[in-house]
Structure 1
Amino acid sequence: MHTQQGIKWVQLRFMLPAILFISLVSIYPFISGIIYSLKDGSLLNAGSFIGFANFVEIFKMSEFWAAFKFGVIFTICSVLGSYLLGLFLAVLLNMNIPGRGIFRVALLVPWVISSVVSMAGWRTIIGDQTGIVNSVIQSLGFEPILFLSNEDWAVFSVIMVKIWKSFPFMMVSLLATLQTINHDLYEAGSIDGANKWQMFIRITVPQLKTVTFVCWILMSIWSFNDFDVLWLLTEGGPLDATQNLIIMSYKYAFIKSSTGMGAALGILSLIVLLTLALILLRVQKKDE
C-alpha cells in the first residue's frame, strides 16, 4: 500500500512541471479573461465589478451581430472551400502521377509561409489601385476592381485568401488517410462492377469520415478565430464588413481601451466555438 502511494507521489512530482506550465499559459489567462469581462476596466485601470453588464451591452449592439454573422459565413465558406480543394488535391496526389513529390512540397507553401509575408504578397496582387491584377485590368481599358475597399469584394477576397492558406492542412490530413485505405476494398468493388465514382462514394468517403470531422472541427476553430488574414488584409474593413468577433474584441480592448468589452467578446467567441465543436462531435458519434 505504501509502495503504491510512493509511486503515485513520484508520478505526481514528474507531472508537476507540466501542470504548472499549463496553469500558467492556459488556465490563468482564461480565469483572468472571465474576471476582466465582469469589470468596466481599461488598459490603465482595472475597473470595478459590474457583473454581466458588458454582455448585456454587447447583445444590444448591431456591430456584434454583424461581426457574428460575418464570422459564421467566413467560417463555413473557408472550411468547405479548403476541404473540397484539399480533398481534390489529396485524391490527385494519391495517384501515381509524375512529379508527385515536387507537387506535394509546392502545395504546402501556403500553409508554412509566414502570414505577414503571404498577406503582404496578396495585397501586392489584389491591391485596389496598384495591385498586379488591377494593373492588368486597367491596361486592358477596364475599371479596377476594389478587392479590399468594396464591402462585397472584400468579403469574397478574404474568404478566397483563407481557403488558399488553409487547404494544405486539409490536403495533408486527407492524403495521409487515403494512403492507409486497404486496396483490397477497391479490388473487391471493381470485381462487383463498381465504377471509380461509385468506389469513391462507397469506399473512399466512409474511410475519410473520422479525419474529416477532426479537420472540420480544427478548421472551424481556426477560421472563426482568424485574426492574421483579416487584420493584415483589411483590418476588419471596409465599414467593418470583414470584422469578426476576434477583431472586434481586439479593437475594443487595445484601440478603444475597453478591456471589459474586449474580454466579454472573447468569452462569447469561446462559447460559440465550444458549441460548434460539441455539435460536430455529437453528429460524428451519432453517425458512428
Structure 2
Amino acid sequence: MAITTTMKLGREAAVRRRRTIDVLPALLLLPSVLLIGCVIAWPLLTGMEYSLHKGTLLRPGAFVGLDNYVALADLGEFWHALRFSIMFAVVNVVCCYLLGLGIALLMDMDVPFRAFFRVAFLLPWIIPSIVSVVSWRWLVADQNAPVNQLLSLVGTDPIYFLSSDTWAQVVVFAVKIWRSFPFMMVSLLAALQGIDRSLYEAAAIDGATRWQTFIYVTLPQLKGISIILCILMTIWTINDFETPWLITQGGPSNATENLILLAHRLTFARNQVGLGSAVSFVTFLILMALAVILLRQQGRDT
C-alpha cells in the first residue's frame, strides 16, 4: 500500500514538473511570436483593411466592403495578369524540373570535373538577382545588344526582344529558368544520392535497361521531393516581382505583368490602393492554398 501511494505521489510530482517546464518554451517563443505579429500579421491585416476601402495613398477612403473584389471580376487587366502568372509558373516549374533533373542525373554519375561543374551550375543561383537580371537585359536590350550583334554575324535581322509581346515573355521565362534551375538541381541531386543503391543492383539482376531503371526505380524514389519542389517553385514564381520588373516592368502593353506587378501598378501608379490591395489579397489566398498543399505533402513524407 505504501509503495502504491509513493508511486502515485511520484507521478503527481512528475506531472507538476512537466507543467512547470512547459511554460518555459512558451516564454522563450513569445518574443519571436510578437516580432512575427508585427512584421507579418499587422501588414497583412492592414492590407486586408485597405482592400475593403476605396482610398488612395493619402486618404483611407470610405468603406466599400467587397466592391473592390467584385470590380476585379470585370477588370481585364486582372484576368490577363492571372493568366500570365499561371503560364509563368507552369513554364518555369516544368523547364526547371526537367533541366534540373537532367543535370542532377549527370552530376550523380562519375563524370570528369564533376566538382567544378557542380559549382559552375550554382552560379546563377548565387549571383544577386539584380546583377543577373540587369545583365540579361543588357544582352537583349536593343538592336545593338550583344545577342543581336551575334545574330547579325549570321545574317539575321535584329530581334527587338523587349518590344514584342511574345519575345518579351520568352526573355522573362528564360531569365527566370536560368536563375531557378540550380535550386532544383541541387535538391534533386541530394535526393538521388540518398536512394538505396541496392535497388539499382536488384534492377540490374532482373535485366532492367537504363530507361526501365529510371522509370521504375529512380522516378518513384523522387516522387515525394519532386512534388514539394514543384509546389515551392510555383509559390516563388507567382510571387516573383524582380524578374519581370527589372527586365520589362510588365511591358510591353502589360504582356509580362503578373499579379504582383499589377498590384504594384494599381497602388503606386494609379493610386488605387483599395483595388491594388484586393489584387494582393487574392494573390495571398492563392499562395496560401499552395502552402497548405505543400504542408500536407510534407506531412505525408514524414
Q: TM-score when scaled to structure 1?
A: 0.94
User: What residue is the counterpart of 1:24 in the other structure?
Assistant: 38
How far off its partner does 1:2 sit? 4.8
Q: Which moved more, 1:208-217 or 1:21-30?
A: 21-30
The question of 1:150 aligning with 2:164 is answered yes
SS of 1:207's partner is helix
The answer to whether the 8 A contact 1:123-1:131 is kept is no
2: CA distance, partners of 1:133 / 1:123: 11
The answer to whether the 8 A contact 2:232-2:294 is kept is no
**RMSD across aligned C-alpha pairs, in angstroms?**
2.1
How far off its partner does 1:276 sit? 4.2
User: What residue is the counterpart of 2:282 in the other structure?
Assistant: 268
Q: 1:137 aligns with which of 120, 136, 151?
A: 151
2: CA distance, partners of 1:118 / 1:276: 28
Q: 1:52 aligns with which of 53, 66, 72?
A: 66
After superposition, the C-alpha distances for 1:31-54 in whole angstroms (9 at most, x for unaligned) are 111111111121111222110111
Unaligned residue ranges in structure 1 (runs of 5+): none
How far off its partner does 1:147 sit? 1.2
User: What residue is the counterpart of 1:183 in the other structure?
Assistant: 197
1: CA distance, partners of 2:128 / 2:297: 34
The answer to whether the 8 A contact 1:213-1:284 is kept is no
Amino acid at match of 1:119: V
User: What residue is the counterpart of 2:253 in the other structure?
Assistant: 239
- Percent identity at matched positions? 45
The question of 1:218 aligning with 2:218 is answered no
Q: Which moved more, 1:68-77 or 1:271-280?
A: 271-280
2: CA distance, partners of 1:284 / 1:120: 36
Greater gyration radius: 2
Q: Which moved more, 1:48-57 or 1:134-143?
A: 134-143
The question of 1:74 aligning with 2:84 is answered no
The answer to whether the 8 A contact 2:228-2:297 is kept is no
Q: 2:262 aligns with which of 248, 269, 288?
A: 248
The question of 1:99 aligning with 2:107 is answered no
The answer to whether the 8 A contact 1:237-1:243 is kept is yes
1: CA distance, partners of 2:27 / 2:271: 42
Amino acid at match of 2:91: C
Unaligned residue ranges in structure 2 (runs of 5+): 1-14
Amino acid at match of 2:171: S
SS of 1:265's partner is helix
The answer to whether the 8 A contact 2:89-2:234 is kept is yes
User: What residue is the counterpart of 1:89 in the other structure?
Assistant: 103
1: CA distance, partners of 2:164 / 2:246: 16
Amino acid at match of 2:135: G
2: CA distance, partners of 1:10 / 1:219: 37
SS of 1:235's partner is coil
After superposition, the C-alpha distances for 1:245-284 in whole angstroms (9 at most, x for unaligned) are 1000011112222221111101111222333455677789
The answer to whether the 8 A contact 1:54-1:260 is kept is yes
User: What residue is the counterpart of 2:78 in the other structure?
Assistant: 64
Q: TM-score when scaled to structure 2?
A: 0.90
User: What residue is the counterpart of 2:48 in the other structure?
Assistant: 34
CA gap of 1:9–1:278, structure 2 versus 1, over 3 A, is closer
User: What residue is the counterpart of 1:110 in the other structure?
Assistant: 124
1: CA distance, partners of 2:247 / 2:166: 14
The answer to whether the 8 A contact 1:115-1:228 is kept is yes
1: CA distance, partners of 2:295 / 2:160: 40
2: CA distance, partners of 1:105 / 1:70: 33
After superposition, the C-alpha distances for 1:185-211 in whole angstroms (9 at most, x for unaligned) are 000000000011110110110111111
SS of 1:108's partner is helix
How far off its partner does 1:226 sit? 1.1
Amino acid at match of 2:45: I
2: CA distance, partners of 1:268 / 1:77: 22
After superposition, the C-alpha distances for 1:164-192 in whole angstroms (9 at most, x for unaligned) are 11000100000001001111100000000
How far off its partner does 1:227 sit? 0.8
